[in-house]
Amino acid sequence: AAPPDADAIKVNQVGFLPGAVKFAVVPDGQARNFTIVRAGTDTVAHQGTLGPATAHAPSGEQVRLAPFTALAAPGRYQVRVAELPDSAPFEIGPAVYGVVNAASIKAYYFNRASTALAATHAGAYARPAGHPDTHVLVHASAASPGRPAGTAIASPKGWYDAGDYNKYIVNSGISTYTLLAAYEDFPALFKAQDLNIPESGNDIPDLLDEALWNLEWMLTMQDPADGGVYHKLTNLRFDGMVMPAQATGPRYVVQKTTAAALDFAAVMATASRVFAPYERQLPGLPARMRAAAQAAWRWAQAHPTDYYRQPADVVTGEYGDKDVTDEFGWAAAELFITTGDAAYYQAMGAPALQATVPSWSDVRGLAWMSLARHRQRLGTVADQALIAGRIDTLSQGLAAASRQSAYGIPMQGADYIWGSSAVALNQAMVLLHGYRLTGKREYLDAAQAGLDYVLGRNAVGMSFVTGIGKRSPQHPHHRPSEADSIAAPVPGWLVGGPQPAQQDKKDCPVPYPSALPAKSYLDHACSYASNEVAINWNAPLVYVSAALQALTPA
């Protein structure tokens, strides 16, 4: 028989807060018991009985859960089961998510456009500046009377979207918002954090400074003449696997779209209230953001169906979306919260707007989470029962899925789509809002399972975050990681994760090891459909790692 896989026992490879629910997943075999040993020793810290064998359809496995919630003593441990290699080591401790949270934010710094990364901040990943974006051409699809095709505008800063070097407003929307939401919910945690970025120590929390790098870019994507917002800033085709400074092709802003205007409006409305206390450091900026949000909203009202259509000469990412009812609802909700103007709440269409797990193309859930966060000061216009009900109902469904899953996670077969890792974390983010609203412990526990999933309790037995855990992606589809001639990838990035469509297999020299949804993952730089990184995937990792750190009872 083949030797058992070194990572046959699946466990969160970072670890757990002392008061958290704790599970490992063990392949079904002869064993009925397990122990938790002090890492690298035979000292038994906990003994337990494995749960019943259960089928996990997304991975075609029979597995048993190993529960060890009762073990709360700080330390470094491994799970041990007869006949199997010990699990990856993990830690139990009171600050166990500090490192992964900081790394997941620092990843944005590493993806900054238009600036050099200095060794003092970037260490081995220091690099020269790329993409100044001070001479960006208006593409024919974006031409307006004031800015005919070929007009040059300045649109510097921002983050590269992902493994590519383009900048997309739609995806910037949910990404930047989720970072701001993490700050709104857990300000004390972020005020105490030092990320060693150029702005550290400037009297603004580092997370907000990092978000500002992208917000400043986003503001340049609005046409001041009419309030419309360009959909993306892009090359005509993707760059090769080169460093930013080597990618010098012409850059364009492409088409104003309804989705871009609304995502921009939602984020600027959010940012104007988050930065309001920093008026002294950033004079005039909160008011400017608020006015920009309102101008974009008015443009969208006048252009309600301007969907993105990829021009014939452009082949980069689309982020196309032909249903913008959710974007309308989200922008209206944020404008309502920020301005207090009841007309925005009416425009949100709350009674018809459902709550769903958020993604770049479905932002309804963000509206409900923001309303829940601010519910105490919304006044009588907003329907409090409706807000609580939407979040609670969605959380109930996710918690039920978690109870029924052999891995004890909310993820189900259909959740293994492009960017599945972020599906797990956006589910967890919803559950954390459910927990904050209702205090139902099972929501907190199901959220924990989402983080456990991306950090190792998954069918491929690896942490999906670069540089974190015993076994993590070595070859993400990320141009700097490939081109920088450093063996280890840029740290702190969550890769997209398994999904069976394998849209990249024509571009890969090696096959995927499996076609099963939860195992269809390839740690190869060719695999943009399972192993790319992206700003919208890291954002819920920032949120969830902070939230569990802040909310888990001791």
Per CB under 6 A, residues contacting ligand G3I are: 161-162, 164, 317-319, 359, 417-419, 501, 528, 532, 534
User: How many residues make up the chain in this entry?
Assistant: 554
Residue placing its CB nearer to ligand G3I in the complex, 26 or 508: 508
Q: Least Å distance between CB 360 and ligand G3I?
A: 6
Q: Least Å distance between CB 527 and ligand G3I?
A: 10
Residue placing its CB nearer to ligand G3I in the complex, 198 or 320: 320
The rounded distance, in Å, linking the Cα atoms of 54 and 65 is 9
Residue placing its CB nearer to ligand G3I in the complex, 384 or 502: 502
For 302, residues 6+ apart whose C-beta sits below 8 A from its C-beta are none
- Other beta carbons within 10 angstroms of residue 203's beta carbon come to 9
Q: Least Å distance between CB 399 and ligand G3I?
A: 22
Q: Can you list the alpha helix ranges (DSSP code H) found in 379-477?
A: 384-404, 420-438, 441-454
The rounded distance, in Å, linking the Cα atoms of 183 and 50 is 39
Q: β-strands 90-92, 15-16: how paired? A: parallel
Q: Least Å distance between CB 519 and ligand G3I?
A: 16
| Cβ atoms of residues 307 and 320 within 8 Å | yes
Residue placing its CB nearer to ligand G3I in the complex, 226 or 504: 504
3-state secondary structure of 224: coil
Amino acid at 369: M
Residue placing its CB nearer to ligand G3I in the complex, 162 or 516: 162
Alpha-carbon distance values, 220 to 157, 172, 319 (Å): 9, 13, 19
Instruction: Kindly report the backbone phi and psi dihedral angles of residue 359, in degrees, each rounded to the nearest multiple of 5, phi listed first.
Output: -150, 175
Q: Which of 133, 415, 482, 532 is catalytic?
A: 532
The answer to whether residue 532 is catalytic is yes
Kindly report the CA angle at 36 between 554 and 50, in degrees rounded to 5? 100
Question: Using CB atoms within 10 A of its CB, is residue 381 exposed (0-12), middle (13-18) or buried (19+)?
Answer: middle
Q: Least Å distance between CB 33 and ligand G3I?
A: 39
Q: Least Å distance between CB 388 and ligand G3I?
A: 28
Residue placing its CB nearer to ligand G3I in the complex, 69 or 359: 359
For 49, residues 6+ apart whose C-beta sits below 8 A from its C-beta are 32, 33, 34
Residue placing its CB nearer to ligand G3I in the complex, 414 or 554: 414
Q: Least Å distance between CB 302 and ligand G3I?
A: 27
The answer to whether residue 164 is catalytic is yes
Q: Which two tokens stand for residue 195?
A: 């990320």
The answer to whether residue 61 is catalytic is no
Using the CB atoms, write b or e for 32-51: b if 16+ within 10 Å: eebbbbebeeeeebbebebb
Q: Which of 433, 477, 478, 524 is catalytic?
A: 477
| Cβ atoms of residues 535 and 159 within 8 Å | yes
The answer to whether residue 477 is catalytic is yes
The rounded distance, in Å, linking the Cα atoms of 205 and 102 is 12
Residue placing its CB nearer to ligand G3I in the complex, 8 or 162: 162
Q: Least Å distance between CB 538 and ligand G3I?
A: 12
Alpha-carbon distance values, 486 to 103, 483, 533 (Å): 18, 8, 17
The rounded distance, in Å, linking the Cα atoms of 539 and 161 is 12
Closest residue to ligand G3I, Cβ-based? Answer: 317
Q: Which of 164, 306, 442, 482 is catalytic?
A: 164
Q: Least Å distance between CB 276 and ligand G3I?
A: 32
Amino acid at 214: N
Amino acid at 328: F
Write out the H or E segment, with its range, that includes residue 103.
helix 98-110
Residue placing its CB nearer to ligand G3I in the complex, 389 or 397: 397
Q: Least Å distance between CB 512 and ligand G3I?
A: 14
| Cβ atoms of residues 65 and 33 within 8 Å | no
Residue placing its CB nearer to ligand G3I in the complex, 13 or 530: 530
Q: Which two tokens stand for residue 493?
A: 């990035």
| Cβ atoms of residues 333 and 371 within 8 Å | yes
For 311, residues 6+ apart whose C-beta sits below 8 A from its C-beta are 139, 140, 141, 254, 255
3-state secondary structure of 237: coil
Give the catalytic positions in this structure: 164, 477, 523, 532
